[in-house]
Structures are given as C-alpha cells and as structure tokens.
Amino acid sequence: MGFAEVLEQVGSTGRFQVIHVTLLSLPVLLMASHNLLQNFVAAVPGHHCAPANLSAGDPPASPARLLSAPLDAQGRLLRCRRYTRPQWLLLPGNDSAAAPELQNLSSSELESCEDGWVYERTEMSSNIITEWDLVCDLQSLKQMSQTVYMGGVLVGAIIIGALADRFGRRFLLQCSYLLMAVGGTCTAYSPSFPAFCFFRFLCGIALSGIILNTYSLIVEWIPLRVRTGVATGVGYCYTTGQVVLAGVAYCIRDWRWLTLAVSLPYYVAFVYSWWLVESSRWLLLNGKEDLAVKNLHWVARINGRKEEGKKITPETLCSAMHKELSSSRGSHSALDLLRTPGMRRITICLIFVWFSTSFGYYGLSMDLQKFGVSIYLIQVIFGCVDIPAKFITMVTMGKFGRRPSQSSTLLLAGCTVLANILVPAELQTVRTSLAVLGKGCLAAAFQCCYLFSGELYPTVIRQNGMGWVTMMARLGAMVAPMVLLLGDLLPSLPGLIYGGAPIVAGIFAFFLPETRGLQLPDTIQDVEERLSDDLPKKEGIVLKEVNQSLMKETI
C-alpha cells in the first residue's frame, strides 16, 4: 500500500480537497495580472515633441503644436524630432504652396525633444512611459523592465524550487504570497524607474514561488482519477485572470493604482495561507512522520472520516510507504535530474518543451499594440481563446494521454505562427485570427506542461525539477522580445523563429514517457523502473545496476 491508498482512507475527493483547491486557486486569478501587467502600465501612447512655447493647457491640436511638429512621409507627426524654430507657414490659412518649402528643410532645421513630449492619453491616463519619458532614445528601457521581471521569475524558479524540496511547499508558498504583496505595493509607489525594475524583479521571484508550490500542493493532495480535471480548473483561473486584468485596467487608467489593485489581494492570501495543509507525502519522505499523520487526521476529520483517520499511526504510515522511504533516504540535489538515464531523458526533453512554449507564448502576448485594436479588447480575446483550448486539452489528456496532447499543441502552434508569415500585412483580421489561434495552442501547451511535468518528476525532487524546467520557461520569456530586433535584418525572421521553436519542442515531447493512469512516482527508482520497459535490453541491464546502486546509497 502506498500513499494513494492512505489518501483514499482519509478521503481523496471530499470537503477538504474542495476547500484546499479553492483556496490555492484564488491567488492564481491575479497571477496573469502581474505576468501581463506590462501590456498596460508600459503601453506606448502616441507622442511627439513638445514645442518650447506650449503651455500645459494647450489642446493636442493647438496651433502652437503644429508650428513645431514635423510630419513623416505618411503625414504623421514625428515622435522624436521637432523644428528648431516655429514654422509659421503651417498655421491654418497660410498659402499651401509653402508646403514644398517645408519638405525641403534640412536635418539641421530639426532637433531632439529638448522640452519633453506630448502624449495621447486615450488608453491610460498615466503609465511608466509617460511618467519617466521612456520613448525615443530610452524606448529600449520598456523591454528591459519586462526582461528584469522575467529575470526575477527565473531566479525564483531556481531558488524556490530547491528550497521547497527542503523546507516544504506550504512555507515557501506563504513567503511567496507575502513577497508578492509587498513587492507589488512598493512597485506602485516606486519613485524612479530603477526602483520600479527592482520591485518588479521581486514580484517575479514571488510569482515563481506561487506557481511551483500551488501546483505541487494541489497534485499531492488529490487522487489520480481527478488530477487532469483539477489541473485544468486551476488553469482556467489563470485564463479568467487575463480577462479580469482587462476589466480592471479599463476601469483604473492610472498605472500606480492599477498595480496596487492587483497586489493587495495577496495580503489576504498570505493571511489565510496559515490554514493550508502541508503535503503529508512530502513530510513523510523528509522524516516528519508525526506531522504527516497529524495532517492526515485533520483531513479525515474535515472529510467526515474521523474513525478511519484514527487508524493511521506513524508506524502504519511508514509500513505502507516502506519502499518509498527506503529509496528516498539521503540528500537530493539538482544533479539527480541528470544522474540516471531516465531522469536525464525526462529533464532534457522538458527543457526544450518549457523553453519553446514560453518563448512563443510571450512573443505573442506581450505586444498587444501591434494588432491595431484596443489593447483592452485584444486582451479579452486572448484570454477567452484559452477557454476552449484548455477544455479540448483536458479531454485529449484524459482520453489520448499527456504525451500526444503536449506534442500536438506545440506542433499546431508552430504551424500557425509560420502560416502567419505568408499572410499579407493588409489582411490584418486574418493575421490577428491566426495569432489568437496560435496563442490558444500555446496556452493549452502550458496547461499540459504543468500537469505532465508534475507527474514525471518524483516527489523527492519534484520541486527541484519543476524549478529547473520553469527556469527554462522564464529564459524563453526573456529571450522572446530580443528576437523582434532580428526583424531589421529580415522581416520574416522573427516569425520563423517563433514558429520553428514550438515545432522542435513538439518533436522532443514525443520522447517523454506517458503518465496517464499512473500514480505519482515518489522516488527516482520509481521513475527508472517505469522507463525500463521502453529501453533496449542492454540499457535495461545498465538501468538495473543503476537502481541497485541507488538503493545502496540510500540505505
């Protein structure tokens, strides 16, 4: 008898699981708000140089503005240059024959925006672009702020993944809630752009902690038969959060208040997180039998199985999980992710899958202004497309398995992005539709990633493994904006890369073992034994020797 049987004894789908999953899922609603906050707080508004004699009360189309703002070939105001002296010929009522004279002005007649910029404020009344003038020579700082945030997510994946395997899922989740609340509050009151980047970095670290420990605490307290449905439900919370973000941002047009609005709820999550229950599976495998039994008794009482729970003692629990305990003794590190053939195969394939999924996802999701429609509308569309995508994925994962679902979503996403390259630029509706379809496929791929990876890694190093593969996802998110710079060399090159990466990852996903219908592995030996049937006979002999060596080291 393993932990799955013990969980059935105290109730595996009772009142406790409903409350537990609900409390863990609520903060996921606002994870999308922090992940995609940049689309609103750093949306670049229309802007051009402010004339030297423009007063604060002058309207956007005032004559004073026309005297200083040159036009480009399309008749639009230049964003980063102005006339060195007022061009009186531009005033309404002057002879239009003077236009050729204005067109022949040399570059010496133009200068940079010495007196700042005038911004259109139709989308946001205030954001970091307008507050710190992150335009023209400083426009790259917008992308840098998002890269810094994703860098925090990457660092959090490395640090928190390892710490959670050592100190527990619940403790690190509490720390992450508090860090997100404090970091978000400080971000809203940032006095400067460097301070803004620093606090966003802290929010990124917190986000990794929330993601990793939420999924682990959910998966380790629910039975196999409902795992796919529950994981999909949690994914829908993130999807709903994307739509909620659009609504909140539409109502709150000031970036400071918007940031505060999506951060304050994490104080509430931190308070009620003290009532969350640590994974008894993790407690037992880390030598805390008494506390593991105490938590199981608590679960049994909530589920109305108090008498059955009383039958569980430290001795009976250790006896039921004797095999897992004997195999898990000893310390584990990130090296265990590559030490044995099976773990090496899983980790390498997941690195490609996570990197490419995140790379394509954020390449499409973090530049909503390029679609030429309201950023609020496109955010809602991008959020809503996840609903059918994740539902279809839930069905395919349950019916056909995790591996074909993971691979097919990545391959379809890549093909969709590549097809977009062939669509003419004037067919904006078609291009947007293909982008929405590709984003839905990548969202479905992410849904597979979290469930599939949690089922592939054993309990003793699950957080370590999840930390490393999500680190690769954040690396993909950091690299994604940089690929756009390659468009200066060849306009279709970014699309080729964005589409090619998911296709390569989809091929790698074929080499992952299927986990549908299997119990969670608790030890590295469990993983190796499952994979031994897929290996050639010679490799199986080597694997047997590796397993025997692992047993000797842990006894």
Which token pair is 329?
Answer: 């003794």
What integer is the mean pLDDT of 298-315? 80
Tell me whether residue 360 is in a domain: yes
What's the sign of the alpha-carbon dihedral 51, 56, 61, 62?
A: negative
Q: Measured between alpha carbons, how far is residue 167 from residues 49, 164, 171, 335 in Å?
A: 54, 5, 7, 19
Question: What confidence score (pLDDT) does residue 185 get?
Answer: 94
Verify that 162 and 216 share a domain, yes or no: yes
CA dihedral 335, 172, 286, 229 (to 10 degrees): -90
Question: What span, in angstroms and rounded, lies between the C-alpha atoms of 21 and 217?
Answer: 9
Question: What confidence score (pLDDT) does residue 551 get?
Answer: 45
Verify that 217 and 304 share a domain, yes or no: yes
Q: Give percent above pLDDT 90 in the chain.
A: 12
Q: What residues does 83 pair with on adjacent strands?
A: 110
Verify that 111 and 22 share a domain, yes or no: no
What integer is the mean pLDDT of 509-535? 78
DSSP for 372-404?
Answer: SS-HHHHHHHHHHTHHHHHHHHHHHHHHT-HHH
> pLDDT tens for residues 96-118?
444 444 444 444 466 667 677 77
Q: What residues does 118 pair with on adjacent strands?
A: 48
Question: What span, in angstroms and rounded, lies between the C-alpha atoms of 542 and 520?
Answer: 24
Verify that 338 and 409 share a domain, yes or no: yes
Question: What span, in angstroms and rounded, lies between the C-alpha atoms of 314 and 465?
Answer: 28
Verify that 39 and 54 share a domain, yes or no: no
Verify that 79 and 190 share a domain, yes or no: no
End-to-end CA distance of the chain: 21
Is the pLDDT assigned to residue 175 strictly greater than 60?
A: yes
Question: What span, in angstroms and rounded, lies between the C-alpha atoms of 339 and 358?
Answer: 26
Secondary structure of residue 49 in the 3-state scheme:
strand
Verify that 285 and 378 share a domain, yes or no: yes
Is the pLDDT assigned to residue 58 strictly greater than 80?
A: no
Contact 187, 203 (CB under 8 A): yes
What integer is the mean pLDDT of 51-76? 54
Tell me whether residue 547 is in a domain: no
Tell me whether residue 172 is in a domain: yes
Question: What span, in angstroms and rounded, lies between the C-alpha atoms of 450 and 288?
Answer: 27
Cα atoms in the Cβ-side hemisphere of radius 13 Å centred on 433: 5
The pLDDT-based confidence of 71 (bands split at 50, 70, 90) is low
Nearby residues of 270 by Cβ (< 8 Å), 6 or more positions away? 174, 177, 178, 181
Question: What confidence score (pLDDT) does residue 410 get?
Answer: 92
Tell me whether residue 551 is in a domain: no
Q: Which one has a higher pLDDT value, 2 or 59?
A: 2
Question: What confidence score (pLDDT) does residue 72 get?
Answer: 58
Question: What confidence score (pLDDT) does residue 533 get?
Answer: 57
Tell me whether residue 516 is in a domain: no
Verify that 162 and 231 share a domain, yes or no: yes
Contact 494, 487 (CB under 8 A): yes
The pLDDT-based confidence of 260 (bands split at 50, 70, 90) is very high
> pLDDT tens for residues 270-288?
999 888 888 887 787 777 8
Element (H, E) at 80: none
Contact 162, 463 (CB under 8 A): yes
DSSP for 55-79?
Answer: -TT--TT-HHHHHH--B-TTSPBPS
In single-letter form, the type of residue at position 10 comes to V
Question: What span, in angstroms and rounded, lies between the C-alpha atoms of 473 and 338?
Answer: 18
Q: Can you say how many angstroms the Cα of residue 30 is from the centroid of all Cα atoms in its chain?
A: 12
Question: What confidence score (pLDDT) does residue 199 get?
Answer: 94
The pLDDT-based confidence of 328 (bands split at 50, 70, 90) is low
Question: What span, in angstroms and rounded, lies between the C-alpha atoms of 169 and 160?
Answer: 9
Verify that 402 and 444 share a domain, yes or no: yes
Ranking 11-20, 327-336, 434-443, 500-509 by mean pLDDT, the lowest is: 327-336
Is the pLDDT assigned to residue 61 strictly greater than 50?
A: no
The segment with the largest mean pLDDT, out of 69-78, 185-194, 333-342, 360-369, is: 185-194
Is the pLDDT assigned to residue 248 strictly greater than 50?
A: yes
What integer is the mean pLDDT of 542-555? 44
Question: What span, in angstroms and rounded, lies between the C-alpha atoms of 137 and 353?
Answer: 36
Verify that 457 and 473 share a domain, yes or no: yes
- The domain boundary, picked from 94, 120, 146, lies at 120
Nearby residues of 536 by Cβ (< 8 Å), 6 or more positions away? none
**What is the overall mean pLDDT for the chain?**
77
Question: What span, in angstroms and rounded, lies between the C-alpha atoms of 454 and 473?
Answer: 15
CATH number at residue 247: 1.20.1250.20
Verify that 69 and 196 share a domain, yes or no: no
Is the pLDDT assigned to residue 550 strictly greater than 90?
A: no
Query: How many domains does the chain fold into?
Result: 2
Tell me whether residue 386 is in a domain: yes
Contact 462, 515 (CB under 8 A): no
Domain enclosing residue 86, as ranges: 47-120
Verify that 309 and 446 share a domain, yes or no: yes
Question: What confidence score (pLDDT) does residue 206 get?
Answer: 92
- Per-residue 3-state assignment (H helix, E strand, C coil) for 128-185: HHHHHCCCHHHCHHHHHHHHHHHHHHHHHHHHHHHHHHHHCHHHHHHHHHHHHHHHHH
Tell me whether residue 539 is in a domain: no
What integer is the mean pLDDT of 193-212? 90
Tell me whether residue 518 is in a domain: no
